[in-house]
Amino acid sequence: MSKHTHSKPKILSLMPFKAIEMEYLSDFKTQFIIEELNVSNREEAIAAIRSNVVESGPYDAFIVLMGTKPYEPFTPEFLAPLIPHCKTIVSASAGYDKFPIDWLTENDIWFCNTRNSVSEPTADMAMFLTLAVIRDTSRAEKSARAGLWRNDHVPCTDPSGLKLGIIGMGAIGKHHARKASVFNMHVQYYNRRRLPPEDELIYNVTYCETLEDLLRTSDVISVSCPLDATTKGLLSHKEFAQMKDGTFLVNTARGAIIDEHALIAALESGKVARAGLDVFEDEPEINKYFIESDRCIIQPHLGGLTQKARRDAEKECLENIKSLFSTGRPVAPVNEISRR
């Protein structure tokens, strides 16, 4: 392995930068050296990381930008060539379930996600799906395209006055709450930790002490929590049974948070009137039921995929790295490293 003789910290990016302003990137390169890989699948990526570390490394940081599906999952085998020198791995996504966080912590590597860039676009998707399930828009569009004017549509539900229950009041949940209030919806939430009173006032939200309280009293339920060991299958048969009959459900977080078989049963029974789904358990494969059912409004995980989000996420990755090397701590760490 070549010796680390550069005075500037050296960074390896799994993909080329595509959206960040060149002026910002040029300024960043005055303080850091960036190398970009150009690989198309997981096998190529693993081989390229190994060879780059041997020929050009070691690296102080590793960047994973948007469009991770061809390279997942990011296992210890995938990332092992970067240790022991790498100090941080930064991701342009909000979710981090595809990364071995515990393993990274054991190896003194900070892991950072992007908390701001994709939050509002994802909340926009959540709000879009909220309105779509309430107003039954997909079925109406299919009828109109088929020349069936209004078909069997009866006056649909109005969002005004409905109670929206948000599971997970992080940045995405907060944005969704703010947007929902414009439609005169009453917002309540369930979270691992209750928000400070001033935040509840700002977002005009009410706290539910238990998940069951939220499920039992909400007209619309929106999933915005991270996927981890505690939230996998969070909504299953028991939880659907606790909901009101005819509840509307929205998921823009991760597909595996919802037991899809339980959701299908709830849709078939009418417990859930309609579901708006941007994420799926086995994506890009989608359960045939969701594709064919008129009770589902589906999107191909587009929540955070906007031009502005991509640009801001790339910048946020670099801001995490800058902060770590200037202050000893990144901006948005998912884990805690005490020995660096």
Per-residue confidence (pLDDT) for residue 2, from 0 to 100: 43
How confident is the model over 188-209, as pLDDT tens digits? 999 999 999 999 999 999 999 9
Catalytic member of 175, 254, 274, 310: 254
Per-residue confidence (pLDDT) for residue 255, from 0 to 100: 97
With respect to residue 3, please indicate whether it lies within any of the assigned structural domains: no
* Domain of residue 228, CATH code: 3.40.50.720
With respect to residue 291, please indicate whether it lies within any of the assigned structural domains: yes
- If one counts the domains in the chain, the total is 2
With respect to residue 338, please indicate whether it lies within any of the assigned structural domains: no
283 is catalytic: yes
Per-residue confidence (pLDDT) for residue 206, from 0 to 100: 98
Kindly state whether residues 175 and 272 are assigned to the same domain: yes
Kindly state whether residues 169 and 264 are assigned to the same domain: yes
Q: Rounded to whole angstroms, how far apart are CA atoms 252 and 302? A: 9
Per-residue confidence (pLDDT) for residue 1, from 0 to 100: 39
Per-residue confidence (pLDDT) for residue 98, from 0 to 100: 93
Per-residue confidence (pLDDT) for residue 94, from 0 to 100: 87
Catalytic member of 295, 301, 314, 319: 301
With respect to residue 105, please indicate whether it lies within any of the assigned structural domains: yes
Per-residue confidence (pLDDT) for residue 339, from 0 to 100: 56
310 is catalytic: no
With respect to residue 5, please indicate whether it lies within any of the assigned structural domains: no
Q: Rounded to whole angstroms, how far apart are CA atoms 18 and 310? A: 8
Kindly state whether residues 112 and 141 are assigned to the same domain: no
Range of the domain at 37: 10-116+307-327
Catalytic member of 44, 200, 212, 283: 283
Per-residue confidence (pLDDT) for residue 230, from 0 to 100: 95
Task: Return the C-alpha torsion angle 230, 235, 241, 245, nearest 10.
Answer: 140
With respect to residue 312, please indicate whether it lies within any of the assigned structural domains: yes
Kindly state whether residues 134 and 280 are assigned to the same domain: yes
| Weakly modelled stretches of the chain, pLDDT under 50 | 1-4, 340
With respect to residue 259, please indicate whether it lies within any of the assigned structural domains: yes
Per-residue confidence (pLDDT) for residue 154, from 0 to 100: 84
